[in-house]
Amino acid sequence: MYRVYSRRAVLLAAGCILLGVLLLLGVAGRAMHTSAAKRELPVYSVDTTEKVAALGINCAWDDSGIDKLIGLLGERKIKATFFLVGDWCKKYPEVAQKLSAAGHEFGSHSNTHPDMTKLGREEIVKELDDSKRIIEETTGQKLHLFRAPSGAYNDMVISTARSLGWEVMQWSNYSIEFEYSKIAVIIATD
């Protein structure tokens, strides 16, 4: 048997169904939006209309080729930010002082180059404080930039560093060149 419904009843039912679907989508969408955790992120790049680039160089292992690199950067009037490991700075203080005399900026790359994501808050604080003390004493510059070793960071690393006044930086292009002599060749042929 067929039942006959008035046009008004059909439109009212369709409107109620549509309203119910829209309400469900709105509530679900709001729940998804508000429950998404805010992730702490480092600075990867800065919006600017100027044609500029920031060159960051990590110093963690040795000093081979760095004199050539200092010369090439100087010839081209390029200033870079050197992210130093505290232990590296203790091992090569004269190199850090040459970089400072050449007008380059410094940041911390930790004190001992650990995987920062495996450290507790107190250990992160110690890595940052120790590196800051050593690098500032050696170079005479105040530090406020930090780049995590191996690019390994998590919310605790970022929030701890920022709570201590550090700005956390990360690379946007990674050359995977661990030898300064190779970087010097890239700059010389560019």
Q: Percentage of the chain surpassing pLDDT 70?
A: 76
Does residue 7 lie within any of the structural domains? no
Burial label for 41, CB within 10 Å (0-12, 13-18, 19+), is exposed
CATH code for the domain in which residue 114 is found: 3.20.20.370
Question: Is the pLDDT score of 82 beyond 60?
Answer: yes
What number is the average pLDDT over the span 49-59?
87
Choice between 53 and 150, residue whose per-residue pLDDT is larger: 150
What number is the average pLDDT over the span 62-66?
87
CA atoms within 13 A on the CB side of 129: 9
Domain residue limits at 91 = 45-187
Task: Give the tens place of pLDDT for each residue, 125-172.
Answer: 999 999 999 999 999 999 999 999 998 999 999 999 999 999 998 887
Does residue 26 lie within any of the structural domains? no
Does residue 139 lie within any of the structural domains? yes
**Tell me, what DSSP letter sits at residue 102?**
T
E strands within the chain? 56-59, 81-84, 105-108, 145-146, 167-168
Does residue 105 lie within any of the structural domains? yes
